[in-house]
Structure 1
């Protein structure tokens, strides 16, 4: 990569199609999160291909901004973190433990979810662009106040668990009837070095209960719904209507390219 390609701000803006000279204020974060969610897919193709590389600022920029790939939480939220830092925000990366709602237990792979905590005018907000299709699309205050977006209703509640002092909860549109646990996190345990992200990547790659090392998954929000691609099907939600198409290996490659702009298979 040439030196100019390391410009986090310009690369991020280009990737999500955001005006290159517009000043980034807290009030514009909703729009940035919306554009990020519709532009960059949540996907595990590197994990499935066992083709991971060491996570650095440059490798993240190369993967997501130069090669136009997506990534998992520790990549997408770190990419967002560097953009926030570059624009003068007080932001930190934190780690969480995801709750398995089907089995009613905490995921045994441990603290492998990564998100951002951003402080603004004395209040702290959770900002997450790496939780698959379950994105708040807005900063969520740690005060317990819920926020609503086209994707549902979301809140962060102060609750002591074995995994931290807060829980992220959601009522996902067309999915949940009541508040559902997403993950727990400790607001006092900050990610201090990128080596932690590499440790998370290794765990997701190798752990027998990792949800991301068994089958291909690509998902992305769209302006009027969501798309999910696995190695057997493409499911599209369009204005609440579900359309599901079976795919084989060739069909997966074609759908990854057409619907998500991904050329890796």
Structure 2
């Protein structure tokens, strides 16, 4: 039986690093952790297209590598953070899974459905998360009460609410906004399998009814939610435009670097039309 919790022995690390465009040192230290996290966020977009295409979201490492590395697709939190966890584990980091309640744009308490990671580097714990999408981290954030960091054009902070609960926050034009809250409980790959089933199938899940594709860069955020593409920069108002069915495949390629085969493009366009 493998001793790797995140199946790191099954990972083609060289192929993963090439996919994210990382060419630096590969050591279990903070500099490597920051650089790999930043490169992953820049290279692999958040997307729920498998759900919209009517296919199951597979979390075994072979499927994750095939989709996000070989096919150069994106994924949502369980896919992306599971892939990152395997890569970090292979490099030699200690990686612990976390579960979070998303608060952004929530008008009520949501279930624990988001995956994030706690990673040990240079004697400290760091919050790592390459799978949140639009308002997600660019780099790891030190897991210390009151921590605040500027990452590119974006500012993040970590607040403590008691009972071990921490809240990731982001600073916008109107002030601080809660992104998600998470506790200290360790989560395992089997836990994310249950969360993934809910997220990809339950009618209350925001991911089953519309296309959601997002990416955070150091100075720009892009989000396609339903038919509306929003491009946000810190120094001006957000730019918005409607993406038509005929424009969808090109928008995915040009804005997010996602290329689909002809059959998937046709299926996605049909579903997109019916839901917009």
TM-score (norm 1): 0.85
2:152 is aligned, of 150, 153, 165, to 150
1:263 to 2:267 alignment: no
Contiguous gaps of at least 5 residues in structure 1 = 1-5
Matched, 1:160 2:162: yes
Instruction: Name the counterpart of 1:191.
Output: 187
Number of equivalences? 249
What are the ranges of 5 or more consecutive residues in structure 2 without an aligned counterpart? 1-9, 261-267, 269-276
Alignment of 1:47-62 (within 5 A): 47-62=51-66
Assess if the C-alpha contact under 8 Å between 1:33 and 1:137 holds in 2: yes
Q: Give 1:79 shift.
A: 0.9
Aligned residue for 2:140? 139
Contact 2:103-2:181 at 8 Å conserved across structures: yes
Distance 2:11 2:82 in 1: 15
Matched, 1:217 2:212: yes
Residues 62-81 of structure 1 mapped to structure 2, 5 A cutoff: 62-81=66-85
Within the alignment, does 1:229 sit opposite 2:224 as a pair? yes
Distance apart, 1:228 and its partner CA: 1.5
Normalised to the residue count of structure 2, the TM-score between the two structures is 0.82
Q: CA deviation at 1:142?
A: 2.2
Does the CA-based 8 Å contact 1:42-1:130 persist in structure 2?
yes
Two-structure CA RMSD over aligned residues (Å): 2.2
* Maintained 8 Å contact 2:48/2:212: yes
- The within-5 A match list for 1:232-251 is 232-237=227-232, 240-241=235-236, 242-251=238-247
Q: Describe the SS at the equivalent of 2:136.
A: coil
Give 1:254's aligned residue: 250
Question: How far is 1:125 from its partner?
Answer: 1.4
Specify whether residues 101 and 260 from structure 1 end up closer, same or farther in structure 2 by C-alpha distance, changes over 3 A only: closer
Partner residue of 1:23? 26
Q: 1:106 aligns with which of 104, 109, 121?
A: 109
Match of 1:129, SS state, is coil
Which structure has more strand as a fraction of its residues? 1
